[in-house]
Homo-oligomer: A and B are copies of this chain.
């Protein structure tokens, strides 16, 4: 019947004194964190209660209303926060990749790993009935990023095919060096920073 982990118990009993003046927004962040933790455990937004969130943070239920208009606003804000974090780490993973295929792989790998670590949140984000009941249009941005990552691969592939095909079929024409042209494709189509020199 141990409903709380030691870590959570510690988080609750420690530190939760009133925030200093001007730092009231800190509680907002704590509430969102707790909400996401609970949603990940429950895997279902309907099962989450505002009072459970308050208990998790160690505050009075009424204090939640200082930062969120009602339960729905809280859940939506938490999911939007979670989603924004995913976008950010996705972009970070992509930016470290050498080429658009590696970037696409990095993005996909990151999302897979995240969904395995947070199956409950994944369910709430993509399978909960919240998707029917409320406007979660912010989620569109994730699809946009993925589509863009794929399009960069497609465009590069298409352009490189053009460069190669023309050289194969009309070798007598005065083509610029292939490597340089592909480099320009990479810079302009894919957004890779230009090679120095």
Contacts and interface: CB of A to CB of B under 8 A. Distances in A.
A132 B43 contact: yes
Contacts of A143: none
A124 to B, nearest CB: 10
A70 interface: no
A89 interface: no
Contacts of A127: 123, 127
A123 to B, nearest CB: 7
A127 B132 CA distance: 15
Contacts of A42: 129
A46 interface: yes
A44 interface: yes
A72 to B, nearest CB: 15
Interface in A125-141: 127-129, 132
A46 B127 CA distance: 14
B43 A46 contact: no
8 contacts: A43-B132, A44-B44, A44-B128, A44-B129, A46-B46, A46-B47, A123-B129, A127-B127
